[in-house]
Amino acid sequence: MNSNHNGRPSILKVEDLVTRFKTPEGIVYAVNGVSFELKEGETLGVVGESGCGKSVTVLSVLQLIPRPPGQIVGGKALFHDADLLKMNPDEIRHVRGAQIGMIFQDPMTSLNPVINIGNQVAEPLILHLGLSKKEAEKRVIDLLSLVGIPEPKKRLGQFPHQFSGGMRQRVMIAMALACNPQILIADEPTTALDVTIQAQIVELVKKLRIELGMAVIWITHDLGIIAGLAQRVIVMYAGYIVEEAGVKELYANPNHPYTLGLLHSLPRMDASGPQRLTDIPGLPPMLLRQPVACPFSVRCPYVFDRCKENPPLMEVGEGHRSACWWDVMKGGPRHA
């Protein structure tokens, strides 16, 4: 198993992942050679606008993209040195739910409306851990209590529509944690919730990560959520990772113009006077062609001749990489 500069071993190592979709309009180049590592017990934030490839990346890793139209064209996803992308349906099913848990964006579409909550949370326990119905029920009560659902025993027989949005999301977290997974993947789990409930869910996941010692991948379009949650961040754009850094470093020294744009569109708590929030002009590319130029160049204020060539991720500091030919911090071209 691999170690890195933090001294923690890697639990998941994704190398050169490529995923495409065949559509009536043509081939969509959704994920274009993405590589990243997740360390034991750390939280990795994956950030970017809708359509940048962040969800498709993790769904590909777990073989959850619909095939067809989706196809994983290349790459590896090593979980404890076993390649998830090479596993047969039975093997990957055992990893999903048992060793890697997942919380999706909308609990209403992920929960079955006609099965009570007790049975839904118990299902992975009976399936993966072989618990009896009675043992599973006891564990479900513990799990619901762990995620902060009051009077859990009374709620076992209730159905999803009897829970609020925030409580449904807590049920989803309980299901994802049922088998003590080593990795929890959260795909925009707070998007549909109001800000107060959002903050509660973020705090809950932070607390559970520390208590249970699991690693977390948190996918979001909101850099604000990541600040207090993740140790490291990868920023995605047009199916590429365009910047990767420790969370403090990313906020202090953002190096890619896209990251700068995302940060400038956030209100700052430490601002002394009125602030002007700016948005990033234009829209992300459609990805019906594999970009030859830097994919952000059409929206970028720093664009110059070299941007006709798509830059690789380059070291710009310790543990900090950026895919940009322009040195944003020094105001001039960066020579690769």
pLDDT digits (tens, 9 = 90+) for 173-183: 999 988 889 99
Give the pLDDT score at 2. Answer: 45
Give the pLDDT score at 236. Answer: 97
pLDDT digits (tens, 9 = 90+) for 82-111: 999 999 999 999 899 889 999 887 767 779
* Beta pairing class for 183-187 and 240-246: unpaired
* Burial class of residue 253 in the structure, from the number of CB atoms within 10 Å of its CB (0-12 exposed, 13-18 middle, 19+ buried): middle
Give the pLDDT score at 1. Answer: 44
Give the pLDDT score at 105. Answer: 77
pLDDT digits (tens, 9 = 90+) for 280-298: 888 888 899 988 999 999 9
Average pLDDT in the 53-76 region?
Answer: 94
Predicted confidence band of residue 4 (pLDDT cuts 50, 70, 90) = very low
Higher pLDDT, 3 or 184: 184
Give the pLDDT score at 277. Answer: 60
The pTM of the full predicted model, rounded to 2 decimals, is: 0.90
Average pLDDT, the chain: 90
Contact 131, 153 (CB under 8 A): no
